[in-house]
Chains A and B, each alone.
Chain A
Amino acid sequence: MTGLLWLASLLLVGLSGLPLLLHRAFAGYPLSTRLVLAGASGAALVSFAMTAAVLLGIPWNVPGLVAAGAVLAAGLRLFLKPALVFAADAPRPPEPGESPRVLAAAALSLIAVGAALGATFAGAATSPDLLFFWGPKAQQFALARTFDAAFMRDEFHQHMHAYYPPLVTNLGAFASMAAGRMSWTGATLTFPLLLVFLAAGLPGALADRLGRAHAAAIAALTIAVISCLGVEADIAGNGEMPLLLFETLAIALLISDAAAEPPTQLIAGILLAGAAATKVEGLPFTISAAALFFLARPRASRPFWPAAGRLILPAAVMLSAWFAFGASRRIFFGYSGYGTLFDLHLDHARVVLAAVGRSLSAAGHALPWLVPLGCVLAALPLTRRWILPVGTAAILTAFFLFTYIHRPEDPSLWISWSAARIFSPVAMLLALAASLGSRGEPRPASP
C-alpha cells in the first residue's frame, strides 16, 4: 500500500507542469502527449524547486513544492506568445487502415511495458544502485527535509556519490515525504510506470512528422528497446529510466517539424535540463543534443540565440543551483573524475572495448542495440535530421569510452556492471533515428 501511495504521489509533480502545457501553443499535441510532457516538465521543475529551497534555507514540504513547481511553470508560460500557431495544429488526414496499425503498435508497447512490470514485480530488474545509494540518500533527505549536508560530507558516506545530480534523490525524497516513508517496491516500479508514460506520450510527439501509424510503430520500437534493455541491464529504481524518459521525449521533439516553434524548443530545453539533473552523463547528452540541433536543423533553429537560450538555459540554471549548493557547503565543486583529465590509459583500450562488448552481449545478446541499428540501416539514406540522434549517440559513445580509458586501474569489472546501463540512451537514439529515412517521406520535411 505504501508502495502505491509512494508511486501515486509522484503524479503530483505532473500537476506542476500543467500551467505550462495548458498553453494553447501545445494544443496541437494529443492530450496524452501533453499530459506526459507536463509530468516530465513538472518533475524537472519540482526538482529544481527543491534545490532552490535548500539554497534559500526553506525546509521541504509536499504542497509547497508542487506549488513552487507550478509557479515556475506559470512563469515560463509568460515567455510564450498567446497567439502562437503551432505546426501540429494542421489536421492530418488519416491514412487508409491507420487505426488497426496504431492499435497493433499500441499492443506491442503494452506487451513491452507488461514485460517490464512483470520483471520488476518479480525482483528481476532491480538496480543494486537503488539499494546502495539512490534509495538511502532519498530516504535521508526526506527525513531531513533538505539535502543533509553533514550526511553528504561524512567521509564514510563517499559511496553515496554526493556530487551526483539531484533529480532522482529529490523525487525519491518527495515521494517518501508524501507517503510517510521510503518504498523500495515503489522505487523499482518507477521503471514500468515511466515506461508506460513514455508509451502514452511518445507517439504524439512524433506524429506531426510521421503520421499516426508510423509514429505509433516507431514509438513501439523505442518502448520495446527500453523495456528489453531495462530488464536485461537491471535499471529498475535507479536513474536510467528517468534519464531515458527525458532524453527520449527531448529528441523526439527536436526531430519533429514542431521543433521550429519556440514552445517546442522551450519544452525540449526543460526536458534536457531534466536529463542533466538526473545523471552525470545527462550533461554531455544535453550539450551534444543542443549543439547538433543547430547543425541538423539549421532553418528550424533560427534565430540562433533565442533558440540556444531555450535549449540550454534551463539546464544551465538547474545545474548552477546544484553546484552552488555543493560549493557553498564545501561538499563538492564539480563532477568527480577518475584521474587527471587527458591522462588516458590507452594501453587499456583493447581491454575496454572487449569488456564493453561482453557487457552489451550479456544484455539480451546485444539485441537492444542491434535491432534498432538494423532498422537504421534498413532506412538508409536518412534525412539531414539523422545528425541529431546519431551524432548524439556517437558523442555519448566517445564520452563513455573516454571515461573508461581514463581510469588508471583495469576497468573490466566496472564496465561489466555499468556499460549496458549507461549505453542504453545509444539504443534509444538509434531507434528514433530509424524514423528518419528519406525514402517515401510521409510529408515533405523542412531541415
Chain B
Amino acid sequence: MTRLRAVWFAGAAALALFPLWRFFSRPLAEQLRLPITPVDRVDGARARQWRFLAESRPHVPPRASFTVLAADSDVEMALYMMSFGVLQDGVPLPTRYYGNPTPEFGREAKYVLAFDLPEAPEPEDRLRLIARVPGGAVYERTRAQ
C-alpha cells in the first residue's frame, strides 16, 4: 500500500506541475499580461471577436435591434451567438443562421455590426457610420430596406 501511495503521489505531482511547466515554457512577459477577454489565451480569433462586440456595445442603444455581418459564415455565427451575452440589452437578428441566409430578418435590424469587412456592407445612403471599433465598425440603418 505504501508503494501504491508513492505512485499516487508521483502521478499527482506530474499532473499538478504539468500546467505550470506549460506556463513557464512560454515568454513570461506574455504570460503575465492581463487578459482583455475571457478567451484571450484559449482562442485568439474568438477573443478578437468578443472584443469587437464589447467595443460595439456602447454604440447600440438598449432594446435596439442589430445584426452582425462577417465575410465568413462560421465567424458570423460565432459573433451572433456571443452577441446574446455581450449585448444583452439588444435584439440580435441573424443575417445568416448556421450559414443559411436569413436576410429577411437581418435587414430588419436597426444597427449593423460589421466585423473585418473592408468596406460598408450596404450602400452609403442606407447606412450611417456610427463608430469604428477594433475589428470593424458599427452602422445605423437610415431608412427602411
B46 contacts chain A at the CB level, 8 A cutoff: yes
What separation, in Å, do the CA atoms of A434 and B98 have in the docked complex? 44
The one of B12, B31, B77 that contacts A112, using a Cβ cutoff of 8 Å: B12
Asked if A126 and B39 sit within 8 Å, CB to CB, the answer is yes
Interface residues in A210-251 (C-beta closer than 8 Å to B)? 213-214, 217-218, 220-221, 223-225, 227-228, 231-232, 234, 237
Asked if B9 and A364 sit within 8 Å, CB to CB, the answer is no
Q: Given A123-B40, A125-B42, A131-B82 in contact, is the A371-B35 Cβ separation under 8 Å?
A: no
Asked if B39 and A374 sit within 8 Å, CB to CB, the answer is no
What separation, in Å, do the CA atoms of A231 and B125 have in the docked complex? 49
Interface majority SS (helix, strand, loop, mixed), chain B: helix
A291 contacts chain B at the CB level, 8 A cutoff: no
- Which of B11, B15, B31, B85 has the largest number of chain A CB atoms within 10 A? B15
What separation, in Å, do the CA atoms of A375 and B81 have in the docked complex? 42
Asked if B37 and A123 sit within 8 Å, CB to CB, the answer is yes
> Please, which residues of chain B bring their CB within 8 A of the CB of A115?
16-17, 19-20, 23
- Give 20 A-B contacts (CB < 8 Å), ordered by A residue: A105-B12, A112-B12, A119-B23, A119-B41, A122-B35, A123-B40, A124-B40, A128-B39, A131-B50, A156-B102, A188-B38, A221-B11, A228-B16, A367-B14, A367-B18, A375-B7, A378-B4, A434-B4, A437-B4, A440-B4
Chain A-chain B contacts (Cβ-Cβ < 8 Å), number: 162
Asked if B5 and A214 sit within 8 Å, CB to CB, the answer is yes
Asked if A132 and B82 sit within 8 Å, CB to CB, the answer is yes
B127 contacts chain A at the CB level, 8 A cutoff: no
What separation, in Å, do the CA atoms of A234 and B40 have in the docked complex? 12
The one of A156, A217, A440 that contacts B8, using a Cβ cutoff of 8 Å: A217
> Please, which residues of chain B bring their CB within 8 A of the CB of A139?
84-85, 88
B47 contacts chain A at the CB level, 8 A cutoff: yes
> Please, which residues of chain A bring their CB within 8 A of the CB of B38?
123, 126, 130-131, 184-185, 188, 237
Q: Given A139-B88, A224-B11 in contact, is the A128-B5 Cβ separation under 8 Å?
A: no
Q: Could you mark each residue 68-108 of chain B with 1 if its beta carbon is under 8 Å from any beta carbon of chain A, else 0? A: 00000000011001101100100001100110001001000
Interface residues in B105-144 (C-beta closer than 8 Å to A)? 105
> Please, which residues of chain A bring their CB within 8 A of the CB of B31?
122
Asked if A108 and B12 sit within 8 Å, CB to CB, the answer is yes
What separation, in Å, do the CA atoms of A139 and B35 have in the docked complex? 22
Asked if B1 and A224 sit within 8 Å, CB to CB, the answer is no
Asked if A368 and B8 sit within 8 Å, CB to CB, the answer is no
Asked if B88 and A214 sit within 8 Å, CB to CB, the answer is no
- Which of B8, B43, B47 has the largest number of chain A CB atoms within 10 A? B8
B13 contacts chain A at the CB level, 8 A cutoff: yes
Q: A123-B35, A221-B12 are in contact. List 16 more A-B contacts (CB 8 A).
A: A104-B9, A118-B23, A123-B40, A136-B88, A143-B88, A156-B105, A160-B84, A182-B85, A182-B88, A217-B12, A220-B9, A232-B19, A367-B18, A371-B11, A378-B7, A440-B4
